[in-house]
Amino acid sequence: MLKQIKTLTKLQLMNLYGINVYRYSKDKNAKKKSRFMALLYVAVGFMLCTYIGGTVYGYAYMGMSDIIPTYLIMLCSVFALFFSIFKAGGVIFQKNSYEILCSLPLSQTAIVISRFLRMYVENLIISCLIMIVGGAVYGVLETPDISFYLIGFLVVLFVPLVPITIATLIGALITAISSRMRHKGIVSAGLSVGLFLLIILGTADMSQMEGSISEDMIYSLLETVRQVIEGIYPPAVWMGDAMINGDYFTCILCVVVELVLYVIVILFVSANFRWINRGLHSTIARHDYQMESLKKNSVLKALYKKEMKRFFSSGVYVTNSIMGPVMSLVLSVTMLVIGIDTLQEKLGIPIDIKGFVPFVLAGILCIMVPSCVSISMEGKEWWIVKSLPIKTKDIIDSKILLSFSVILPFLMVSEVLLTIALRPSLMELVWQLAIPTIMVLFTCVFGVTVNLKFPLFTWENEVSVVKQSTSAFIGGIGGFVIVFICVIPVILAPTEYSDIIKAAICAVFVGITAFLYKKNISVSMTDL
């Protein structure tokens, strides 16, 4: 079985990072895309290292060195949880590979362990980045004993286990509940979004601990931060203290508990793997079909309906695309409840909030628009679409309409709430409506452009397209980054030129959107 685990794990990891494509593909474009994705990973890793190093230095500068190990462990756990929670069900119980592997003489325990190891390795890489960079900065500033590094080595190996275990249980539960429903994609997305909102509310509650903190604790920032982390994830505090104090017993005890929990979940999933997969992926056919009158639609309408059905049939697709719009509603409701004056007072920064709200709303709505992966989501059925006598324009239009249809209801509700909350003047209202609408439309078209450049059709799991592909990365955060860049001239310019700059930004992006759209519809689908 060990040989099977080794082989299956190797296959999982090779497919995960596109190593096989780079090593064996004879397609030069595929190799170029693989190298480009590697550079993106390096760039993101560099930004993460810079953030970690700066944060650790800041804590040390403020005299809060004792909280640094705890903070690093907490950060590793949060990353592991968020990177795993919405894809654990799809990775562990992926349907396509299950059907293939079941026909082979493989142990189901080996299959389960290989998938858990894949998730472990993914999160271990991030944990190593955080702990090595943070630990190095801490070591230079504080010069701890050798026990700090020895215990830190154990911690970094085992810290992802509990978050992965929790993510697997939650992911499996969401997948199990939604799979028995008729509209399982919508149900799965609803459960995932509900969980996301609970996490946000929980974080908000933690930030309101001020009422239960004594006056002495207010002056002790170290103790306050420590209590917040302990309230969220107590093992981070225990292992952080063990690193500082050289407490091997506490460290080993935490490691053993985490390892036992991880093994128990693996054994449980292994023992019930076939039963769980049958329950998740089997369907009940209805035999009461009756022929009714047939309806005829235009090509665009038929493609649009197909896109909507495909979108709502995938819980991962819906969840990933709807987080930004949901966050826009959270922002709007928060501003309505808190009020503009209270928010201005809490920020303590002399800025015109009304002038920046349109950019903030646009940036949030532009995170992970569906169009950035809509072409890749066709998968192995793409040949059917491109072999039909359909214009490229109709295919592209259906992808853009899908994205805009998903975002538009959230945009409209957010605009109404923000108008009530901010009570803008006529000109402020114009920018509040125009900037988010134009930027969202631009991002929808930009997403298609990116996906045409970096299509991925040979996927086995939707997670690899929606969360891990090049187009998901560039198209998913590209719109947000561009909106953020657009804010800079508004901040730097004098107030009297604000309207001119905003008008120029809108005009430029209308032009860019038109240019990208013409470029998209001129692409030959047979070349993809």
pLDDT (mean) for 365-375:
91
Tell whether the model's pLDDT for residue 397 goes beyond 50.
yes
Question: pLDDT category, 207, cuts 50, 70, 90?
Answer: very low
Tell whether the model's pLDDT for residue 208 goes beyond 50.
no
pLDDT (mean) for 447-467:
85
Distance (Å, rounded) from C-alpha 431 to C-alpha 481? 19
The pTM of this model reads 0.70
Listed in order, strand segments (DSSP E) in 214-369 are none
Tell whether the model's pLDDT for residue 503 goes beyond 90.
yes
User: Which is higher by pLDDT, 217 or 84?
Assistant: 84
Write the CA distances from 30 to 23, 24, 358, 372, 522, integer angstroms. 11, 10, 38, 18, 22
Domain ranges across the chain: 2-281, 299-527
So what's the pLDDT on residue 394? 92
Tell whether the model's pLDDT for residue 191 goes beyond 60.
no
* Mean pLDDT rounded to a whole number for the chain: 80
User: Which is higher by pLDDT, 44 or 16?
Assistant: 44
Q: Are 304 and 402 in contact (CB under 8 A)?
A: yes
Write the CA distances from 502 to 173, 356, 379, 382, 412, integer angstroms. 46, 11, 40, 40, 20
So what's the pLDDT on residue 162? 85
Provide the 3-class DSSP secondary structure of residue 267. Answer: helix
Tell whether the model's pLDDT for residue 172 goes beyond 70.
no
User: Which is higher by pLDDT, 94 or 307?
Assistant: 307
Tell whether the model's pLDDT for residue 174 goes beyond 60.
yes
Residue 524 token pair:
């030959």
What phi-psi label fits residue 234: left (phi over 0), alpha (psi between -120 and 50 degrees) or beta? alpha
User: Which is higher by pLDDT, 256 or 167?
Assistant: 256
So what's the pLDDT on residue 444? 93
Q: Are 398 and 307 in contact (CB under 8 A)?
A: yes
Residue 114 token pair:
């290989």
User: Which is higher by pLDDT, 297 or 518?
Assistant: 518
Question: pLDDT category, 37, cuts 50, 70, 90?
Answer: confident
**% of the chain exceeding 90 in pLDDT:** 19
So what's the pLDDT on residue 206? 43
What is the per-residue pLDDT across 101-156, written as a single tens digit (0 to 9) for each? 777 788 888 888 888 888 888 889 888 989 999 999 988 888 888 988 999 898 88
So what's the pLDDT on residue 514? 95
pLDDT (mean) for 246-265:
89
